[in-house]
């Protein structure tokens, strides 16, 4: 698709409807999909309802829902009449939802039944229409007789412009305060079209969507991008537990999926690694590189069958992938692909197709995007990553001063990430600038690198490395059930023994890490964190919650 054509969401959708009218588009796994033609009819009817609600171009309309076909229909209807969609993450608290609705001044909200209680007590001054997204029935409205009529058509309005705001994405973030990222039609459409130069998703492809659509990663790359190519998209009707996901994988047999590192890392640690460690013989063989590669290849074939057997693109983004897990995926010949971006860049900045990547790299800049490294370290070449392109946001909603801080006068966006670009143009991410710990000798210590090593230690689920009083402290969440199951046969007083074993593990872990890191990255203390760490929508730990408080065991 040529970029000289109009880059607006209604234009992209209409082209797909014209080209793929009778092809399957949206469905729950195991159900009959809506075709592009039927989806278009529903979008038109919903636009007529929005116009009856007196929603005008530029008005904000909130969307608080779990993933479902009607999520995409609602998104396309809102943006198609020039209104601004405000997607809310399903795991936002009532207070966060209140703040977003107040800040965005949303005039209407579409909400799924399971999340309806989160807005039951909301008394905002602007929100006059509340609609149940499953069937578009009216919960409350200031318009008498308002209803959804599948036979209604909208009044033809002025065409949407590329530079019009399409969405305000409120990020939960890893640093605290939620910001409203303003994305234009051009921002989103450019990313979706250029993303297909990394991996083409076409009319014969089936995507299984498991990440929240309210996050721009799944929204742009997992919804708009496949829509452009005429692909079909399937959703889970319940939370993606193994009991729900495994049957869906067999039913859909996806050719494409998007995920975050935590998901594939959990699969590796819970399913792949134990198979090699259960027996002494395989544990020994796995330590020999040539045999490890053969064992990983066999495991990769089994993993492919688990995912339905037809997967050609398994996108991973949102955080840094463990080097150990990536090494397994390479040797397993699994079709994974790494991408890098931020909500502020709609989101994709760099990426690489399966089997074309480099270990621990996010790949080169996406076509049409420029990346550069500034304030480079003279020895390592590492510095802050700046990006420029048509996918850089319009700015932060109602935050002009904050916008000026992150977008330079000549249009470069300061990502806040540190990295380097090799001679072949491949980008390597080192970590967040604000996460860097400065050592006693002025050294840059990247906590993410240390955490990656910690997370490979047995029984560790996740970790956060922080600085306290000049010392490096590792907060570690162990898999307590796994420890109990492994050692319960050894002692009558299981809880006492497990507690002792936990203390033993922390000492072993400290030695394990310190043997693999530089002298200024050695950890001085390991503190057991009993509960899982709180996370964002893309399963990144909300680090700010743990760096500002004392480490407590």
The CATH number that applies at residue 116 is 3.40.50.12780
Are residues 286 and 374 located together in one domain of the fold? yes
Place of tokens 């009993």: 530
How high is the pLDDT of residue 158? Answer: 87
Strand 256-259 versus strand 206-209 pairing type = parallel
How high is the pLDDT of residue 553? Answer: 42
How high is the pLDDT of residue 3? Answer: 57
CATH number, domain with residue 470 = 3.30.300.30
Are residues 462 and 394 located together in one domain of the fold? no
In angstroms, the CA 77 to CA 48 distance is 9
Are residues 430 and 480 located together in one domain of the fold? no
**DSSP assignment string, 384-416:** EEEEESTTS-SEETT-HHHHHHHB-TTS-EEEE
Name residue 184's beta-bridge partners: 165
**Domain-ending residue, one of 403, 434, 465:** 434
Q: Confirm whether 232 is domain-assigned.
A: no
Are residues 425 and 498 located together in one domain of the fold? no
How high is the pLDDT of residue 504? Answer: 84
Are residues 130 and 278 located together in one domain of the fold? no
Residue of 336, 343, 383 whose CA lies nearest to 359: 336
Q: Confirm whether 228 is domain-assigned.
A: no
Domain range for 43 is 9-196
- Residue 242: other Cβ atoms inside 10 A: 10
Whole-angstrom CA distances from 168 to 86, 284, 302, 330, 406 are: 5, 53, 41, 37, 17
Are residues 425 and 443 located together in one domain of the fold? no
Q: Exposed e or buried b for every residue in 465-498, given b needs 16+ CB within 10 A?
A: bbeeeeebbbbbbbbeeebeeeeeeeeeeeeebb
How high is the pLDDT of residue 496? Answer: 65
**Which residues in the chain show pLDDT less than 50?**
1, 173-176, 552-553
- Residue 265: other Cβ atoms inside 10 A: 23
Query: What is the count of structural domains for the chain?
Result: 3
Are residues 427 and 531 located together in one domain of the fold? no
Contact 58, 184 (CB under 8 A): no
How high is the pLDDT of residue 171? Answer: 80
How high is the pLDDT of residue 493? Answer: 56
Q: Confirm whether 366 is domain-assigned.
A: yes
**Domain-ending residue, one of 146, 171, 196:** 196
Q: Confirm whether 145 is domain-assigned.
A: yes
pTM: 0.89
Are residues 516 and 416 located together in one domain of the fold? no
Q: Confirm whether 102 is domain-assigned.
A: yes
Are residues 416 and 455 located together in one domain of the fold? no
In angstroms, the CA 462 to CA 529 distance is 9
Are residues 441 and 430 located together in one domain of the fold? no
Contact 168, 60 (CB under 8 A): yes
Q: Confirm whether 471 is domain-assigned.
A: yes
Whole-angstrom CA distances from 194 to 16, 32, 373 are: 16, 30, 22
Provide the token pair at 207. 């995507």
Q: Confirm whether 225 is domain-assigned.
A: no
For the four alpha carbons of 164, 166, 168 and 173, in that order, the dihedral sign comes to negative
């Amino acid at each position: 698709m040529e970029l000289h054509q109009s880059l607006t969401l209604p234009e992209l959708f209409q082209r797909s409807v014209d080209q793929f009218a009778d092809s399957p588009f949206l469905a729950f796994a195991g159900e009959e999909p809506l075709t592009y033609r039927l989806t278009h009819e529903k979008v038109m009817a919903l636009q007529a309802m929005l116009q009856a609600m007196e929603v005008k171009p530029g008005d904000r309309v909130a969307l608080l829902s779990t993933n479902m076909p009607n999520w995409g229909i609602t998104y396309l209807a809102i943006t198609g009449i020039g209104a601004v969609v405000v997607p809310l993450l399903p795991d936002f608290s009532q207070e966060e939802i209140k703040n977003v609705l107040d800040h965005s001044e949303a005039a209407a909200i579409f909400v799924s039944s399971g999340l309806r209680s989160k807005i039951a007590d909301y008394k905002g001054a602007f929100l006059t229409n509340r609609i149940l997204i499953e069937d578009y029935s009216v919960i409350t409205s200031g318009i008498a007789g308002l209803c959804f009529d599948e036979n209604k058509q909208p009044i033809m309005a002025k065409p949407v412009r590329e530079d019009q705001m399409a969405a305000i994405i409120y990020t939960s973030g890893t640093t605290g305060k939620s910001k409203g990222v303003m994305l234009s039609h051009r921002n989103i459409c450019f990313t979706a079209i250029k993303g297909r130069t990394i991996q083409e998703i076409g009319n014969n492809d089936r995507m299984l969507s498991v990440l929240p659509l309210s996050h721009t990663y799944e929204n742009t790359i997992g919804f708009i991008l496949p829509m452009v190519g005429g692909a079909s998209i399937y959703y889970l009707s319940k939370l993606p537990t193994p009991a729900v996901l495994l049957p869906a994988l067999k039913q859909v047999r996806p050719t494409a999926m998007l995920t975050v590192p935590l998901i594939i890392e959990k699969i590796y640690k819970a399913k792949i690694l134990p198979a090699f460690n259960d027996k002494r013989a395989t544990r020994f063989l796995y330590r020999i590189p040539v045999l490890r590669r053969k064992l990983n290849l066999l495991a990769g074939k089994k993993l492919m069958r688990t995912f339905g057997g037809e997967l050609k693109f398994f996108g991973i983004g949102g955080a840094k992938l463990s080097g150990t897990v990536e090494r397994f995926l390479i040797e397993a010949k699994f079709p994974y692909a790494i991408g890098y971006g931020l909500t502020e860049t709609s989101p994709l900045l760099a990426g690489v197709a399966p089997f074309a990547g480099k270990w621990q790299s996010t790949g080169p800049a996406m076509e049409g995007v420029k990346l550069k490294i500034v304030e480079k370290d003279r020895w390592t070449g590492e510095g802050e990553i700046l990006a420029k392109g048509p996918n850089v946001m319009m700015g932060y909603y109602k935050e002009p001063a904050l916008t000026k801080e992150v977008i330079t006068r000549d249009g470069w966006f300061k990502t806040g990430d540190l990295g380097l670009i090799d001679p072949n143009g491949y980008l390597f991410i080192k970590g967040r600038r604000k996460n860097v710990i400065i050592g006693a000798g002025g050294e840059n210590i990247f906590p993410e690198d240390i955490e990656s090593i910690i997370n490979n230690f047995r029984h560790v689920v996740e970790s956060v490395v922080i600085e306290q009083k000049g010392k490096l402290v590792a907060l570690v969440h162990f898999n307590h059930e796994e420890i109990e199951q492994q050692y319960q046969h050894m002692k009558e007083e299981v809880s006492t023994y497990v507690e002792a074993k936990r203390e033993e593990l922390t000492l072993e872990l400290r030695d394990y890490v310190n043997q693999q890191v530089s002298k200024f990255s050695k950890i001085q203390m390991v503190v057991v964190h009993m509960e899982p760490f709180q996370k964002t929508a893309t399963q990144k730990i909300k680090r700010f919650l743990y760096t500002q408080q004392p480490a407590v065991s």
